[in-house]
Structure 1
């Protein structure tokens, strides 16, 4: 799977037609609804498990996949539920890319809540879709509904209709 680079995403930002959005905006994300009950597959260069505190850390070209959704990051911490019945969330840091269908988002960090299918991205979020490109401070993706909400200085470029 190809990774998006900042220059390529910025080029798309400057050339893609966009629709206008206000300070907080809900938009579609991904081609279809995601089944968050599907298995989560994680691949990486390294895995460090600490038996004392029960943490697991994936590092080096980490790819998290579930259904059609892919998350790329250099560092992913597995956070378990308090009752130790399973995984609560995956915390990705160091620059994160989330791809679902033709939609791609990039941000500084992301938390993926496995049970609910919610992804919370923070820090210079850039969303690239086939017909629009947006930036914001934060974005929450509901993979079950196939939607996203961008907040915090949402910006896009308005293009007149043909």
Structure 2
């Protein structure tokens, strides 16, 4: 089922990529759908939760689903790091073990993702695959600004663009 989901997402999303983005060390990316209202609550669902009061972390494992507004992130493991001064404020979410992030018609996959909530930034690393409107882009690191809907792909970037209809 995951492979069907990945195939479906790969078939759905990538026309908004900058047309000249073919190959390079770093490529600017424009997103229409990978945005999130970072002021929305963050909902986490998982099979198990372990909390460590000493270091201010919570670890969710098993079928982890993170929802914030229209953004969805899934992974096998998620570590939530709380603020050093305010233990109720989420500082970072670190998802590992194969991550899928979906927002609107756009999706990204990677080995791991770090979401810094206050900055509204998600950094996906390790075999990153981004799909937008039927086109794809891959690289080793994707930094997404959820507030502006922009990002940058790095690490031997490869893009497949679909020609327009005539």
* TM-score, normalised by the number of residues in structure 2: 0.83
**1:48: which partner in 2?**
50
Gaps of 5+ in 1: none
Compared with structure 1, are the counterparts of its residues 26 and 159 closer, same or farther at alpha carbon in structure 2 (3 Å cutoff)?
Answer: same
Matched, 1:155 2:164: no
Compared with structure 1, are the counterparts of its residues 104 and 159 closer, same or farther at alpha carbon in structure 2 (3 Å cutoff)?
Answer: closer
- RMSD across aligned positions (CA): 2.7
Gaps of 5+ in 2: none
Render the CA deviation track for 1:47-99: whole Å, top value 9, x for unaligned.
11122322210011111111111110000001122223521100000000000
Compared with structure 1, are the counterparts of its residues 28 and 55 closer, same or farther at alpha carbon in structure 2 (3 Å cutoff)?
Answer: same
Compared with structure 1, are the counterparts of its residues 55 and 36 closer, same or farther at alpha carbon in structure 2 (3 Å cutoff)?
Answer: same
**Does structure 2 conserve the Cα–Cα contact (< 8 Å) formed by 1:20 and 1:158?**
no
Compared with structure 1, are the counterparts of its residues 126 and 6 closer, same or farther at alpha carbon in structure 2 (3 Å cutoff)?
Answer: farther
Deviation at residue 28 of structure 1 after TM alignment:
2.2
What is the aligned residue count?
A: 159
* TM-score, normalised by the number of residues in structure 1: 0.85
